[in-house]
Amino acid sequence: MDFSGLDRLFRQLAEEGFLPGAVVLVAREGEVIFQGVYGYLDPEKRLPMREDALFRVYSMTKPWVSALALSLVEEGVLSLMDPVEKYLPELGALWVGREVGAEVREEPLRAPLTVYELLRHTAGFTYGVFFASAVKRLYLEAGVDRFDLSREAFLKRLAALPLRFQPGEAFEYGLSTDVLGHLLEAATGKSLKDLLKARVFAPLGMRDSGFQAQDPARLAQPFPQDPETGRRIALIPVEAPPPRYAGGMGGVSTASDYLRFLEALRTGKGLLHPRLARLMTEDHLGPLYAEGLKRGPEYLPGPGYGFGLGVAVRLSGAGFSPGSPGEFNWAGFGGTYFFVDPALGLSALYLSQAPNLLSVLEPARALHSRLGARLQHAFRTQVYRAFTA
């Protein structure tokens, strides 16, 4: 196998100042067949990147929490059919904000919001950032996306906001996994931090993963300014305990730790029963995919991808980059990405701290960025290329 193209891709991005640094891992049937360490751990201090660097993984926290939820389903602690208000009564009066231009019209829920809808992001919760709409504007104004809210403040603000869609009506990427994490806390009487440590990290030997960087000297840092926009980069603080355990964005991990998690999902060993692991990583959108195509790219995880219970799932061989039906992946805003191709026994990921600010500030320009989605596609292409070299 020839990984020279993959090595060259990340080396050039680091040398040309697009990435501060990165760690790349590729494994086949659980064996690491490529590892690359590039650039700087801290570009301001000129500290070289290290293979055991800690990274803020942002939305790559979501698959952890989703797998945790399924482990509790497996044990019968909760059911995918349970209504959310059973565990979080403060969310018992939710309503839908039907968007008519700039106006938001109130509409009652047609059916209870369930744990299942949280897992597949069809609950109706949204983010204020990423695209724009009348309901999203309300989320921004309420500041519910903020990292520095307490659990109580987060749930109180969210309870006063409308859902963007009826539960089950559309894929809407948003705060569902944050809600899921707090639901798991309420269902067990334990913190999300302790639940993940006991049920995910400890069994898999993920010693460096959690909601806090235990060794700040190993914490990877971003550039002070985004090289494409010139805007200041400010990532979430992870050197101290957070004000709440945000299941959608709060995690810290290393490349080797995260690979252990991916291998547990790929093999169905060490975390979930194989059938539960498969349930998590197969498509659950079904006909909602076609509806998402009509609405536009905002309503899909990516061209050719449906969504499982916490990860995007490839529906066919068609797309911007190579892959196999059943391949699953996800990314984090801070500059992290993974994909797993069970048909090839392949798990691959890269971790960096280079958020693509254009994806929030100017989505049209983000299409031409060397970072974000374009880097993910280039990474996938070079990984698959190595398998045919």
Catalytic positions? 59
Bridge-based pairing state of the strands 336-341 and 346-352: antiparallel
φ/ψ of 331, rounded to 5, equals -135, 170
Residues present in the chain in total: 389
Alpha-carbon distance of 186 to 177, in angstroms, equals 14
Alpha-carbon distance of 277 to 372, in angstroms, equals 27
Alpha-carbon distance of 199 to 71, in angstroms, equals 8
Structure tokens at 290: 């076609």
Alpha-carbon distance of 353 to 238, in angstroms, equals 13
Structure tokens at 344: 């090839």
CB 80 within 8 A of CB 116: yes
Residue 55's DSSP bridge partners are 253
Q: Which of 195, 140, 175, 163 is nearest to 248 (CA)?
A: 175
Which contacts (CB < 8 Å, 24+ apart) does range 140-144 have?
Answer: 144/175
Alpha-carbon distance of 125 to 165, in angstroms, equals 8
- Cβ atoms within 10 Å of 353's Cβ, excluding its own: 27
CB 329 within 8 A of CB 379: no
Radius of gyration for the alpha carbons in the chain, expressed in angstroms and rounded: 20
Residue 339's DSSP bridge partners are 329, 348
Alpha-carbon distance of 123 to 176, in angstroms, equals 7
